[in-house]
Structures are given as C-alpha cells and as structure tokens.
Amino acid sequence: MTDLPAITVDAHPSLDAVGIVSFLPAPLGELRTPAALAALFLPGAAAPMQSGPDVIGAVRDLLRQGGFKPSGRSKPASEYLAKAVLDGRLSPDKLINPVVDALNAVSLYSGLPISVVDLDLAQGPHRIACCAPGSRYAFNASGQEIDLGGLLCLYDAVGPCANAVKDSQRTKTHPGSQRVLTIIWGTHELPGRSQASAAWYRALLSDLGARSEDIELLRIAPQG
C-alpha cells in the first residue's frame, strides 16, 4: 500500500472521479512509449472505448456545475485531444512521454479529461473542489494563465494544480518523475465509464513496468 492519504472531495452533484498513484520503474525520461501505445494516435485506430456527442455533452455539464464555461480555449482537454489528432498535431511521431501518452490515449477514446501531476511536486494534503472566482495558475512554461473560477480542480498544499482543462505548470511531470498522481474526471451521467477508463490506463502503465494503486476519495457531505 502507498502512504499517500485519501483525497478529500467537496460535495458535488455529478463528479465520478478516480484517483490513481503510479510508481514508475525508472525516471520518466528513461522510459519509452511502446509502439502499440503510439499506434493509438493514428486516425481510425482500434480501441476498447469510443467517445461521442453524449460523452462530450456530459463532460461539459460536469464542468458547468460550479459556474465554469467549458468552451473555446477553456474546453475540456479530451476535446482538444480529438482535434489535435485530426489536425495531425498529435501523432505517433509527436508524442510527449509514456505516462502522458497513456493518459492522452485513454482520454482521447473515453472522452473523459484526465490530469496527471508529479507526486513529489504536488505535495499533500490533496483535495478536489471548485475554485473561487479570480483563481488562476500558469499552465505552460511561458507563463500563460487559465481563469479557474468555478472549475473543479485538484488542490495540493500550495493551491490548485490540475483540472479537466489544463494542468498547472508547477506540478507537471518531467524527465525525473517517478511517482505520479492521476485524476480521471468522470461523471455519474456516464455510469461505469470512469472505472473502465481507469482499468485501461492502469493496463497501459503496467506495460511500462509501473505499479499503480487506486487512491481513496473521501466525499465530504453537503452542509445543512
């Protein structure tokens, strides 16, 4: 068992998240993406899951619950991935790293956004909650920021660090990463989809030699 404590989750009407911690067999920069995983980014590739308009709508409804508007540059990351593959910006010769490639493949075909953070950078306690108006963080190395107001986010000891749109630059994986925390942003409108996506993701990481464990999510009951 891992020594990572459970993640607390603020009361939410439709969130069906899954948390997974994975221990890599070597620093991330020394691992290579298997050919079978890379092939999932070819147009028309066979996969155990498929997304569709119903999934896209359900995910957007999930993110709207706190007042966030999931459209334009703030659309769910899973929608961005689908367009990136169609446009040729994401393909077997334009991959990132094996862990991100695995979650991108699962997100692409499941239609569920997925976040990953370096667990040595995103230190606990961890919780999932909607961000207050005016919350922001940088999501890339150039310092571009996303307005987080009303958006479900994973928090660490410092503040929000990941969500279904863009993860924080502060806690992103890097070549030295060996412990990663993954959050699958599922919804009860799609029963069983979060768990099926998690099972596929764990299998892809197992092919890399990683050991994965589910993290307990402690739902906080609404007040009153």
CATH 3.50.40.10 fits 7-219, yes or no: yes
The pLDDT score that the predictor gives to residue 43 is 82
For the chain, domain boundaries:
7-219
Nearest one of 60, 62, 78 to 70, comparing CA atoms: 60
Our measurement of the distance from residue 224's CA atom to the centroid of its chain's CA atoms, rounded to an integer in Å, reads 32
Specify the pTM.
Answer: 0.95
Our measurement of the distance from residue 114's CA atom to the centroid of its chain's CA atoms, rounded to an integer in Å, reads 2
Residue 219 has pLDDT above 80, yes or no: yes
Nearest one of 57, 19, 77 to 190, comparing CA atoms: 57
Residue-wise pLDDT for 172-187, tens only, equals 999 999 999 999 999 9
Residue 1 has pLDDT above 70, yes or no: no
Residue-wise pLDDT for 184-204, tens only, equals 999 999 999 999 999 999 999
Q: How far is the first Cα of the chain from the last one, in angstroms, to the nearest whole number?
A: 35
In this prediction, residue 222 has a pLDDT band, given cuts at 50, 70 and 90, of low
Give dist(CA 101, CA 32) in Å, integer.
10
